Structure 1
């Protein structure tokens, strides 16, 4: 019987290498004991024999593996973007239930922003025997230092949506934010050939994803129309204030020729301001992400496009990469993994589900 038609076991590797089963087990598990030369020989033989670790059986032996998700609580505007991320994480963990995974949900509320606060990381530190964390990559400095401590203690961390490498994460799952910003710049520039300012709902300055999108937009305009003025409105959690600022800006400067938002909740207020100032459909506008209100505004012509960042897939992949790292000691390769991001048109709405 050849290797392709039977399951290769640790015993087979031990026979092939002339080593004990215990030594092979330690080498495959990356544990102390075997010399480095022995470890390399075991790994090479395992590869040649197409050995696949029975992760489900191993997980049953080790008991419950606990991972935690530190993501914004699903309140008000957080539902628009972060609810699909939560769903993606939960769905993967359900599918991996045979591996004895326990998902500990640690939602947080930050009054000023969506950034992960120190209190949220403190709750994770209080949990017993956590093997891994899925964390929003927009992190307050003190919380970042606390996460670094957990990483140094052996807790595997995967970031989602934004990247903060200094916390010691194994990888970050995110949309191609810089590229999406450039695409918004190209679309708006092509639809506003007569010039004039472009208004951007730029989100929180401290959020890497928002900063990357805004930088992509700025870079594209700088490269192709260096004289084009950009009005960047930054904001935290006060959406009513953002709405008032948008209305004030639109009424003050009727020369604005195009606009966009790099965030989901900013898109809602941008559409509202366009309608209330009579500019809906009169100037090109681009929203971010696919959800009920944005879909309706795309259908009505308030927006001409939506930028889809695939938050569900971000959550799913974050859980998948964490799982592979914990159970299979599988390296991620690239430390930044981009999900497929797309431009949505009226004619393609039917391809997307909320």
Structure 2
């Protein structure tokens, strides 16, 4: 063991900087009482000396952290996407068990109004240190998110953002690239062209708008000259299905469908199956869940774009935890993948 390098401590940094260990602690954790010049000097030394915070030890010295997570309820059987996000929350809770982190789950409805009520109730409490939320509208939650921040309760958004708010970080996939990838797949599946229908997504949710932008941008850049219709996925599911059914009328002789969300992917699978047009219509969907397996096996669903929503939820909590323990709430982009019939089991 004599060849192992000893871990740098705050005392080592204090000795090198000519200050006390208390001053080093304040500088590293962005506490008050340290001049900017001294703070910069200490941080430079910490980096040069390869100092890393021992989070497990630090957690023993502070009180427990209480994080609220606001995601859509999975009591609704069509919330396939959120099953994976909640699985990510369960995993990160286990990972943080030794760091005195407690997670309280708030299951919201399928709208921003129910989320606003939950966030407002959190603002009235005194026991929550931070919030992770997937936003059902890109701006309408900004007021309550800003209120929480001003009260010292930081918010991290997961999957979809609160654009222009005081949220401290957003953990999401490369959303325009997701749309471009779906477009590239459909172009490959439609060498002769044909009408395309984009179904699903919500106009108020920025990630869905980004998927559409990326999809159309790729098609325009590659000179796709056939019509691309859009069916809004917001509102009553029966209405969405009727609108999608009418849009399919023009592509039964050959064309493609891009389903933007998990729910709309299953809707599109069932509609194409019922019409018996899977030999003429190429479908690219979103995400991966068990209910899609039969449609992959039957050739109705040609591919989906996997957004790794479990990792999005996990990393959103970790980003908030880092911030609450005095570090930067930054994470690398979430990776995406293409799921085909032959690699489907790798993603389930």
Q: Residue 345 of structure 2 corresponds to which residue in structure 1?
A: 350
Q: 1:56 to 1:237 in 2, by over 3 A?
A: farther
8 Å CA contact 2:196, 2:251 repeated in 1: no
Structure 1 portions without partners, runs of 5+:
none
Q: Residue 188 of structure 2 corresponds to which residue in structure 1?
A: 190
Of the structure 1 ranges 88-97 and 118-127, higher mean CA displacement relative to structure 2 is found in: 118-127
Q: Residue 341 of structure 1 corresponds to which residue in structure 2?
A: 336
Distance 2:315 2:258 in 1: 28
CA RMSD of aligned residues (A): 2.4
Per the TM alignment, residue 3 of structure 1 is displaced from its structure 2 partner at its CA by 11
Q: 1:190 to 1:7 in 2, by over 3 A?
A: closer
Does residue 319 of the first structure (1) align with residue 314 of the second (2)? no
Structure 2 portions without partners, runs of 5+:
none
Q: 1:265 to 1:37 in 2, by over 3 A?
A: same
Q: Residue 294 of structure 1 corresponds to which residue in structure 2?
A: 292
Q: Residue 329 of structure 1 corresponds to which residue in structure 2?
A: 327
Q: Residue 16 of structure 2 corresponds to which residue in structure 1?
A: 16
Per the TM alignment, residue 344 of structure 1 is displaced from its structure 2 partner at its CA by 0.9
Per the TM alignment, residue 123 of structure 1 is displaced from its structure 2 partner at its CA by 2.4
Distance 2:88 2:164 in 1: 25
Q: Residue 176 of structure 1 corresponds to which residue in structure 2?
A: 174
Q: 1:178 to 1:140 in 2, by over 3 A?
A: closer
Q: Residue 52 of structure 2 corresponds to which residue in structure 1?
A: 52
Q: 1:184-333 counterparts in 2 under 5 A?
A: 184-251=182-249, 254-255=252-253, 257-332=255-330
Classify the secondary structure of the residue corresponding to 1:107: strand
Classify the secondary structure of the residue corresponding to 1:313: helix
Classify the secondary structure of the residue corresponding to 1:167: coil
Q: 1:291 to 1:230 in 2, by over 3 A?
A: same
Distance 1:256 1:126 in 2: 56
Does residue 74 of the first structure (1) align with residue 74 of the second (2)? yes
Q: 1:140 to 1:350 in 2, by over 3 A?
A: closer
Classify the secondary structure of the residue corresponding to 2:186: helix
Per the TM alignment, residue 212 of structure 1 is displaced from its structure 2 partner at its CA by 0.8
Per the TM alignment, residue 44 of structure 1 is displaced from its structure 2 partner at its CA by 2.1
Distance 1:23 1:86 in 2: 40
Per the TM alignment, residue 201 of structure 1 is displaced from its structure 2 partner at its CA by 0.7
Q: 1:306 to 1:163 in 2, by over 3 A?
A: same
Per the TM alignment, residue 312 of structure 1 is displaced from its structure 2 partner at its CA by 0.9
Per the TM alignment, residue 254 of structure 1 is displaced from its structure 2 partner at its CA by 3.5
**Under a length normalisation based on structure 2, what TM-score does the superposition of the two structures give?**
0.91
Distance 2:346 2:71 in 1: 27
Classify the secondary structure of the residue corresponding to 2:79: helix
Distance 2:99 2:82 in 1: 26
Per the TM alignment, residue 131 of structure 1 is displaced from its structure 2 partner at its CA by 2.1
Q: 1:114 to 1:250 in 2, by over 3 A?
A: farther
Of the structure 1 ranges 163-172 and 286-295, higher mean CA displacement relative to structure 2 is found in: 163-172
8 Å CA contact 1:67, 1:102 repeated in 2: yes
Q: 1:21 to 1:186 in 2, by over 3 A?
A: closer
